Chain A
Amino acid sequence: MAEPMQVEVVSADKVIWSGESTNVIAKTTDGEIGILPGHAPVLAVLQPSAVVIFCEDGRKREVVAVDGGFVSVSQGRVSILSEYARLADELSVGEAERELAEAQQRLDSGDGNEEDRKHFQRATAQLRAAQKRQ
């Protein structure tokens, strides 16, 4: 088996998670992408979603909520960049649901501006990540 990949999840103000992984699953605008060691160099735009990182031979997994951004793979290094990335460990389903409800409300009542839409997508991604974590 090939060497595990070095994965780094970076948000705008800090490194959220970094470590070794054998499999990363992310959702790009073209659909889901699974990244195994030895993957060809790729630079893909992410959708607001939950990224799953398998480490320690699949015994453990990390879930990260991303709000877009992108993933870049090259030479055994995977970097996931997202402005407001959050570890699912820090999220709870209840909290994410409340956040989503609030975002939904703002989306419905507001004039449908970009900010509200982004907030809604971010909340959706966080809820999904929190659920996957369980």
Chain B
Amino acid sequence: MPASLRDLRQRRSSVTTIKKVTRAMELIAASRIVKAQQRAQSSAPYARELTRAVSAVATFSNVEHPLTTESDNPTRAAVLLITSDRGLAGAYSSSVIRAGEELNQLLRENGKTAVSYLAGRKATAFYGFRRREVAGSWEGFSDAPTYAHAREIADALIEAFLKPTEEGGVDEIHVVYTRFVSMLTQKAEVIRLLPLEVVEDTEPPSKSDVLPLYEFEPDAETVLDELLPLYVASRIQYCLLQAAASELASRQRAMKSATDNAQQLIERLTREANQARQAEITQEISEIVGGSAALAEATAGVD
């Protein structure tokens, strides 16, 4: 049975409101992506200089540093999941969580215990609902992370890494985040943060780029001691910024399709409402015509 005209009109107006909301969210996300990308770009010089310096120390000294040494028999691994604080971003958080689950599975198969660190309310909610143990969690900055947040996470992770395994430390640290490939593509990715492998540019260095023979002050070891935590923090910041840009892009896309759906729904409801209205009018006319015909017949009978 077709719904009544009033029902249809009510539904259409509520869908119109929803469309306005999703449209607004789409526009907000779109404008924030630009900012997020700018932030990612402005943090690039720091990361570049830091990478250069770390490669310089790594090239010219054979210093063994705890942060670069692999454990002989790794048994505990930390996994940092970077998700969003808020929903309505399509499959953004769930794909990170799924990649995290796969990683946990892999670690278990290799005989390692996974220790979870979570960033973003979505991951916390997922773990909390399943009553899983969480070693550390951070919330409230997923769409606009600052360096201080990255530093906080880095400090906690480094501390766990430097602790002996028997006392609850970890032997390796993995990060699951979403890489911003383009506005249309964002990919959940897993990287190993520690023990550190210094990421160098893939392209061969040009002549002027060959690293000079540095003098270290006070000495290579101290310099490395200072540098590596900064490097770790800068890597985490990179992940957070990429994740923020991805989150906004996902949200924009999700909201765009929600708006499109709402538009379709509005068109359908309008058509149905028009039909219902037309049916009502037709019925009224036929009632009037029928009524007057009956009246005419009755008076004809009297005469």
Residue numbers of A with Cβ under 8 A of B are 8, 10-15, 28-30, 33, 40-45, 68-70, 72, 74-75, 79, 81, 83-84
Contacts A12-B237, A13-B146 known; A70 to B226 CB distance under 8 Å? yes
Residue of A nearest to B46 (CB): A10
- Is B125's beta carbon under 8 Å from chain A? no
Question: Which among B39, B42, B217, B234 is the interface contact of A43 at CB below 8 angstroms?
Answer: B217
Residue numbers of B with Cβ under 8 A of A are 39, 42-43, 45-46, 49-50, 52-53, 56-57, 146-147, 150-151, 208, 211-218, 222-223, 226-227, 230, 233-234, 237
A60 to chain B, nearest CB (A): 23
Main secondary structure of the interface of B (DSSP, over half): helix
Residue of B nearest to A40 (CB): B215
Given contacts A12-B150, A69-B226, A70-B223, 9 further A-B contacts (CB under 8 A): A10-B45, A14-B45, A29-B217, A43-B57, A45-B226, A72-B56, A74-B211, A83-B230, A83-B233
Contacts A44-B223, A83-B151 known; A75 to B212 CB distance under 8 Å? yes
For chains A and B in complex, what number of residue pairs have CB atoms within 8 angstroms?
A: 89
| Alpha-carbon distance between A122 and B35 when the two chains are bound, in angstroms | 28
Residue of A nearest to B234 (CB): A12
Residue of A nearest to B42 (CB): A14
Residue of A nearest to B211 (CB): A74
7 tightest CB-CB pairs across the interface, nearest first?
A44-B217, A12-B147, A41-B212, A14-B42, A43-B214, A74-B212, A42-B215
When the two chains form their complex, are residues B39 and A13 in contact, meaning their CB atoms are under 8 A apart?
Answer: yes
Residue of A nearest to B60 (CB): A43
| Alpha-carbon distance between A83 and B53 when the two chains are bound, in angstroms | 15
When the two chains form their complex, are residues B147 and A83 in contact, meaning their CB atoms are under 8 A apart?
Answer: yes
When the two chains form their complex, are residues A29 and B222 in contact, meaning their CB atoms are under 8 A apart?
Answer: yes
A5 to chain B, nearest CB (A): 14
User: Which B residues are in CB contact (< 8 Å) with A13?
Assistant: 39, 42-43, 46, 146-147
Residue of A nearest to B56 (CB): A43
Q: Can you list 7 residue pairs at the A/B interface with Cβ under 8 Å?
A: A12-B150, A12-B234, A43-B53, A43-B57, A43-B216, A44-B216, A74-B212
B143 to chain A, nearest CB (A): 16
| Alpha-carbon distance between A43 and B245 when the two chains are bound, in angstroms | 34
Question: Which among B49, B215, B222 is the interface contact of A81 at CB below 8 angstroms?
Answer: B49
When the two chains form their complex, are residues B45 and A15 in contact, meaning their CB atoms are under 8 A apart?
Answer: yes
| Alpha-carbon distance between A13 and B214 when the two chains are bound, in angstroms | 26
A34 to chain B, nearest CB (A): 13
When the two chains form their complex, are residues A8 and B237 in contact, meaning their CB atoms are under 8 A apart?
Answer: no
| Alpha-carbon distance between A25 and B283 when the two chains are bound, in angstroms | 93
When the two chains form their complex, are residues B43 and A45 in contact, meaning their CB atoms are under 8 A apart?
Answer: no
